[in-house]
Amino acid sequence: MTTSIPHTKIRDSKLARTTGFSLVEVMVAAGLSTLMLTAILGAFNFIGRSGFRASSYSQIEAQIRRGLDTFSNDARMANDIQWNSAQSITLSLPTAGNGSSDVTYAYDASTTGATAQSFYQMSGSPGSGNAKRVLIRDLDPTFSFARFKLEQNGVTNNSAVNDLETKLIQINLKIVQSALTAGQSSQSSKSARYLLRNKRVSN
């Protein structure tokens, strides 16, 4: 016995398969697509944030290196220091011959202005009004200088209490950079203790 399938039935079945997806198929596909897109978007967002932070840290690192390098060049040469406050010092630098010139390094704690929350360099004393050169931006208000005297036998705390005995200077700082979507990137740094080579102390 033979069975023949009518030609029209085959055509109907083919038509039925090419006319569209069932609701269930569409919903499953949409669900899967949503999950996949969410995962991809999440991954991109994560990578983007990480990238921004990595960029911020790199920028912070470069800023700190450049700022401290500039400061250390002058600190090494200073023959005198004036402690204006824990956030401001004035160094006297020898010039050719027997002269000297002052340069002030300070933190601007204000929240507005070109040097707001920045560590800057300015020739002259703090009140000289000369142009300020920003060395490090986006600093936390905890920025501070620390001063030390030369190490002595049997003396554990060699913090200096006045300009007379100050022989080494250090900077403690924290940079905080923030972006609307990527959150904050911060880095705390404590510089080396720079020896004021030309400054005479009591010995």
Which residues in this chain contact other proteins in the complex, by CB under 8 A? 14, 40, 44, 47, 51, 54-55, 58, 61-62, 65, 69, 73, 76-77, 79, 94, 96, 149-150, 152, 154-155, 158, 160-165, 167, 197-198, 201-203
Amino acid type, 70: T
Minimum distance from CB of 27 to other proteins (Å)?
19
CB of 154 to other proteins, least distance (A): 7
Least Å from the CB of residue 47 to other proteins: 6
Rounded to a whole number of angstroms, the minimum distance from the CB of residue 130 to other proteins is: 19
Can you name the residues that pair with 183 across neighbouring β-strands? 179
Per the CB < 8 A criterion, the answer to whether 157 and 173 are in contact is: no
The nearer residue to other proteins, 69 or 140, going by C-beta atoms, is 69
Q: Please say which residue, 110 or 202, places its beta carbon nearer to other proteins.
A: 202
Q: Is the CB of 155 or the CB of 180 nearer to other proteins? A: 155
Q: How far apart are CA 179 and CA 185, in angstroms?
A: 9
Residues 141-150: b if buried by 16+ CB within 10 A, e if exposed: eebebebbbe
Helix then strand then coil, % of the chain, to nearest 5: 35, 30, 35
* Distance, CA of 161 to CA of 96 (rounded, Å): 31
